[in-house]
Structure 1
């Protein structure tokens, strides 16, 4: 069942935004359904801080099984992760996140629908499941890691493009996932342009009912380079971009998370890799 995409009908909406910064809408037609509940809109916003890697970039010093404080490139307070709960290491080379801890989710891509622009893997706009998100083989491998989630393309002019997954989506019904036992997320990444990690909760996801087409997710900018870096992001460091509907809480509600996504802005070209994504303490 891991390669199967469970789909729900897309709720087609149009973004009614005067875009001064990068912005997106809820479940609109340009955001990939990816199966597990659909891609919900995102922005790279102006309100979040930039997370920069300060640790090792040597790919031989870490593997999926050995990410710990000694190899952590820390961003934000609290130091590196002492223990991790792997969300997806991509090594099974399918579109599903690890089926553990009650998580059920599938990778998808989404974008602003700029005419003539391209994104790979392409969004599944019709929700057919015929073209699921595919992982990319790493050449060379990053230590023992042979696959990563990757999206690349060019030409987006409104707010950009992104990729990600829902944490709990069974038969296309997205429900909140309790991650309150964890401090935040940790991941390895590289890219040709900076990216923003976005995480939604009831205040910042259309499913939560507090926002509709201007869901300003909790975010943190990642200063990517062409070399692999590890980023460790505490939930407490996530901020809204400041462009959309304000959250009803001062910080993210980690007990009710919906999605984790990665978004790039309107750079002429982009190429972003994500690997070994996990919750940490």
Structure 2
């Protein structure tokens, strides 16, 4: 199974047990994925978002003292988040226009991504990745079959990436990834973030982890302390899937680390290795992804 081959290539034979967290993957001598563990398995969002404050206080202050009433108690105390916080709503809204640079629309049905901009070319492939739990089953068996025909089509889109797994992965989980520069690192600093379409089948986990793997956090980047297991705490954000297609956007400013590895001020978009779309341990899932793009 080629998915297993990728997991072996990117190896996950180490786990982390930080205080208050579930053990997670990454950190093997030649491993990239996993990115640690969810702080609350697949429930809640404590400590995983980054960007916005945990109290969601954007817009109104935490005490809710804004507004125009004489008592100064206008608005919902502590509600906040209504003042245009880019990390609060991670779906592209109707009528919202984004300037896109397509990473892959999947229509050619192969694993390689298009070269992209002439002056800043991209080169890479999609691959499956998962931890080495003995009871884990990750589909499809042949990695080339990741690209699947849509029935019915999603508008003009006829093909999307399709993958699934049982709940047998117990370390960091499983998912799919794409690297965007097979020779070095890609300069994505001209973009605000990543956008994509996705949905989950009935019965699937809904909590999808989107990771930006850059040179700072990657174990082979030469920046984080790999000898002491301080790498692979990748910048990430979770989105919540539905049975129907949703158009998501993940701004780079909303990304955060989990805290088990070496900490950095912000993702190094000018040295981006790739993107991971994964689910945590013990999470059964069936995922569709389409039209993955950078956006300005």
**Taking structure 1 as the reference length, what is the TM-score of the superposition?**
0.73
Runs of 5+ unmatched residues, structure 2: 1-5, 40-46, 52-87
How far did 1:14 drift?
2.3
**What does the per-residue CA deviation read over 1:152-201, in whole Å, with 9 as the maximum and x for residues that have no partner?**
0102122210111111004xxxx110011111111111112211000011
Match of 2:247 in 1: 230
- 2:150 equivalent among 124, 127, 138: 138
Match of 2:49 in 1: 49
Does residue 94 (structure 1) correspond to residue 107 (structure 2)? The answer is no
**Taking structure 2 as the reference length, what is the TM-score of the superposition?**
0.70
Higher Cα radius of gyration: 2
The SS at the match of 1:200 is strand
- 1:259 equivalent among 266, 274, 279: 274
* Residues matched between the structures, number: 232
Match of 1:114 in 2: 133
2:277 and 2:145 mapped to 1: Cα distance? Answer: 14
2:181 and 2:33 mapped to 1: Cα distance? Answer: 14
**What does the per-residue CA deviation read over 1:211-244, in whole Å, with 9 as the maximum and x for residues that have no partner?**
33441110000101111101111111111122x2
1:178 and 1:230 mapped to 2: Cα distance? Answer: 24
The SS at the match of 1:255 is helix
2:208 and 2:10 mapped to 1: Cα distance? Answer: 26
Match of 1:215 in 2: 232
The answer as to whether partners of 1:44 and 1:264 remain within 8 angstroms in 2 is no
Match of 2:189 in 1: 180
Change in Cα spacing, 1:181 to 1:10, as seen in structure 2 (3 Å) is same
How far did 1:81 drift?
4.7
How far did 1:16 drift?
3.9
RMSD over equivalenced CA pairs, Å: 3.0
- 2:285 equivalent among 246, 260, 270: 270
- 2:170 equivalent among 144, 157, 176: 157
